[in-house]
Structure 1
Amino acid sequence: MLDIFGITLPIFLLIGVGYLAVRLRIIDKPQVRGLGVFVIHCALPALIVRALVSRPLDETFNLYYLLAYGLGSLVVFIGALFIARRRRHKPLDASALYALGMSASNSGFIGYPVAALVVGSPAVAAMALNFLIENLLIIPAALTLAEVSSQRGSSARVVLIRTARQLLKNPIILAILAGTSLALSGLSLPTPVFRAIDMLAMAAAPTALFVIGGTLYGLKARGMAGDVTQIAIGKLIVHPLAVLLAFLALPPIDPVLMTTGILFACAPMISVYPIFGQRYGLGEITAATLMVTTLAAFLTISLAIWLLQASSLFVVS
């Protein structure tokens, strides 16, 4: 178990460095948000482009991985939406946000650093595929339902068009399109350009973890135990199990990719979760849930790695 903590502890120590930097006023929240913009708009896109142009395209895009991870995430999303809406009688916008929190992982800021330490380079390809599922399926579905519920006078069709336009401006989606186009064309990037992209890509993981830590400072989780616990359990336990079952239900896949997918599913929810929550009057609970889930993930991810190591179905270095 100590070797597992050797994998997860550095990740959460970097998160702790970000937290302490804000707490000690070495850096303030607006500066942390600026670093987050750097990660989303520069470092992660560079990481994706580097991965796509550095290996054959058929090694990156795996249909069974997309189906398994997408199916597992979608089942959790629909199940969480049903429970929140029908069983707990939450409004549709709140139900959609609860479902989003349980089914969309923080693939770039936490999932990738964890998976990269466990399985190595395949984590980058899996991250690109996860971004497709999260940005083209889970997040648009949640925001469409929440927008319709908020009674802003917009039809579902208008909301979908607006969401599609936003996706076309998403730097992650643009990086996937650019990297795929380069890989299909067979063109090679000039050496100085590739080196610049490589330097940006190397900054992605540590900066992302620092940003998560800085974001957590000041968040509180008082008086929301029931909802926070439900969303956290759904994200950290139900989502990985659903992805695992989806992998086992589909034709056999490379054990490394299956391991990677489960590790990504073990990550907490997306870091912009509280931002979405604020838009629909759920800022406090989404912020509290992000904090609790991220802290609890230290134990659940360590346990998941231990279980993966103990099973012959998976590959853990």
Structure 2
Amino acid sequence: MLGILAITGPIYIVIALGYLSVRAGLFARADMRVLGKFVLYVALPALLFDALANRPLREALHWDYLLVYALGSLATLIVMLLWFRRRAQADRTLAVVQTMGTMCPNSGFVGYPINLLVLGAVAGSILGMNMLVENLLLIPLLLALIDVAQGGGHWRDVLRGVARGLVRNPMVLGLVAGLLVAWTGLPLPGPVQRSVSLFAQASSALSLFVIGGSLAGLSIVGMRAQVAQIAVGKLIVHPLLTFGVLAALEVGGMAPLQPELRTGVLLATACPMFGIYPILAQRQGHDGLAAAALLGTTVASFFTISALLWLLKLA
């Protein structure tokens, strides 16, 4: 158990330090937005590029991993959307917003640091593949479902807007550039490679610190039941359904997933939801619930991820 805490402990200590630094007044919450922009626009794109450019394309992309991650997330979408609509009796828009919180993990700010400590260098490839699925499939699909739920009937316009956003998304640009370098096999000049690596190394600790600082001042008062349902969906249902998809595919004839990729996809899906969840929920007037869910799920994830690591150690 001490070995597991040695992995999860540093992650959540850095998150706690970010939270306490804002609560103590050392930083303002607005400062977290500035630091977050640095992570999103500089450090994470450099990390994605560095992780993908320095290995052959066949090692950077694993189609079996992409399939498992995509189908596990889509299974979570179906199950949780039905739950929120029929059992929790949420309206259509709220049900989609709640479902969004159960199927889009924080791959960059939380998932990558955890996988880096557990799996080492392969964590970069896992992050890149997660970003591909999330940005090209999951987020566009969820935004289209929200538009349909609101009766807009313009899901094609939503998808066109998402496509335009992808072209300007620095993480997507870093990912595509890394894949191109891996495909061509062209080596980078030494000074360029070292500069990219320096920015990439800044992403792990700083991203966790930003998550903690962003949680300061949030509250789940009056929303505990809804927050609990979203947290259970994200931290338990998502990894369980992903494991079910993985097992079904392997029984159906797919070659067994490499052990590090198997661990990586389960840890990725067990992470709390992405940090922009409240921003995406803001247009629908559910940003308060989304922020509360982000706080509750991030705190609870310390225990669920520690438990998952213990189970994986026994397997």
TM-score range, shorter chain: over 0.9
1:139-182 per-residue CA deviation (whole Å, 9 max, x = no partner) reads: 1111122133335x561211111121112211111111111111
Q: Is the 8 A contact 2:53 2:180 kept in 1?
A: no
Q: Is the 8 A contact 1:16 1:213 kept in 2?
A: yes
- The equivalent of 1:285 in structure 2 is 289
User: Structure 1 residues 121-130 or 79-88, which shifts more?
Assistant: 79-88
Which amino acid in structure 2 is aligned with residue 181 of structure 1?
Answer: L
- The equivalent of 2:43 in structure 1 is 43
In the TM superposition, residue 287 of structure 1 has moved relative to its aligned partner by: 0.6
In the TM superposition, residue 61 of structure 1 has moved relative to its aligned partner by: 0.4
Q: State how far apart, in whole Å, the 2-side matches of 1:61 and 1:249 are.
A: 21
Partner SS, residue 184 of structure 1? helix
Q: State how far apart, in whole Å, the 2-side matches of 1:118 and 1:186 are.
A: 28
In the TM superposition, residue 281 of structure 1 has moved relative to its aligned partner by: 0.5
In the TM superposition, residue 11 of structure 1 has moved relative to its aligned partner by: 0.5
State the aligned residue count. 310
- The equivalent of 1:130 in structure 2 is 130
Q: State how far apart, in whole Å, the 1-side matches of 2:80 and 2:167 are.
A: 28
Partner SS, residue 219 of structure 1? coil
Q: State how far apart, in whole Å, the 2-side matches of 1:170 and 1:128 are.
A: 14
Which amino acid in structure 2 is aligned with residue 279 of structure 1?
Answer: R
- The equivalent of 1:71 in structure 2 is 71
In the TM superposition, residue 86 of structure 1 has moved relative to its aligned partner by: 3.3
- The equivalent of 1:22 in structure 2 is 22
Residue 258 in structure 1 maps to residue 262 in structure 2: yes
In the TM superposition, residue 280 of structure 1 has moved relative to its aligned partner by: 0.9
Residue 295 in structure 1 maps to residue 294 in structure 2: no
Q: State how far apart, in whole Å, the 2-side matches of 1:174 and 1:246 are.
A: 30
1:2-52 per-residue CA deviation (whole Å, 9 max, x = no partner) reads: 111111011000001100111111111111011111111111111111111
In the TM superposition, residue 53 of structure 1 has moved relative to its aligned partner by: 1.3
Structure 1: 4+ residue segments shifted above 6 A = none
Q: Is the 8 A contact 1:277 1:283 kept in 2?
A: yes
Residue 90 in structure 1 maps to residue 107 in structure 2: no
Q: Is the 8 A contact 1:66 1:133 kept in 2?
A: yes
Partner SS, residue 234 of structure 2? helix
Partner SS, residue 27 of structure 2? coil
Q: State how far apart, in whole Å, the 1-side matches of 2:266 and 2:127 are.
A: 12
Q: State how far apart, in whole Å, the 2-side matches of 1:186 and 1:298 are.
A: 40
Q: State how far apart, in whole Å, the 1-side matches of 2:303 and 2:238 are.
A: 16
In the TM superposition, residue 225 of structure 1 has moved relative to its aligned partner by: 1.7
Q: Is the 8 A contact 1:77 1:138 kept in 2?
A: no
For structure 2, the 5+ residue unaligned runs are: none
Q: State how far apart, in whole Å, the 2-side matches of 1:248 and 1:174 are.
A: 33
In the TM superposition, residue 85 of structure 1 has moved relative to its aligned partner by: 2.3
Q: State how far apart, in whole Å, the 2-side matches of 1:157 and 1:53 are.
A: 33
Identity %: 45
Q: Is the 8 A contact 1:92 1:145 kept in 2?
A: no
In the TM superposition, residue 91 of structure 1 has moved relative to its aligned partner by: 2.3
Q: State how far apart, in whole Å, the 1-side matches of 2:78 and 2:167 are.
A: 25
- The equivalent of 2:209 in structure 1 is 210
Which amino acid in structure 2 is aligned with residue 307 of structure 1?
Answer: L
- The equivalent of 1:116 in structure 2 is 116
Q: State how far apart, in whole Å, the 1-side matches of 2:22 and 2:147 are.
A: 33
TM-score scaled by structure 1? Answer: 0.95
Which amino acid in structure 2 is aligned with residue 21 of structure 1?
Answer: S
Which amino acid in structure 2 is aligned with residue 136 of structure 1?
Answer: L
- The equivalent of 1:246 in structure 2 is 245
For structure 1, the 5+ residue unaligned runs are: 312-317
Mapping 1:266-285, distance limit 5 Å: 266-285=270-289
- The equivalent of 1:187 in structure 2 is 186
Q: State how far apart, in whole Å, the 2-side matches of 1:84 and 1:169 are.
A: 33
Q: State how far apart, in whole Å, the 2-side matches of 1:216 and 1:296 are.
A: 13
- The equivalent of 2:56 in structure 1 is 56
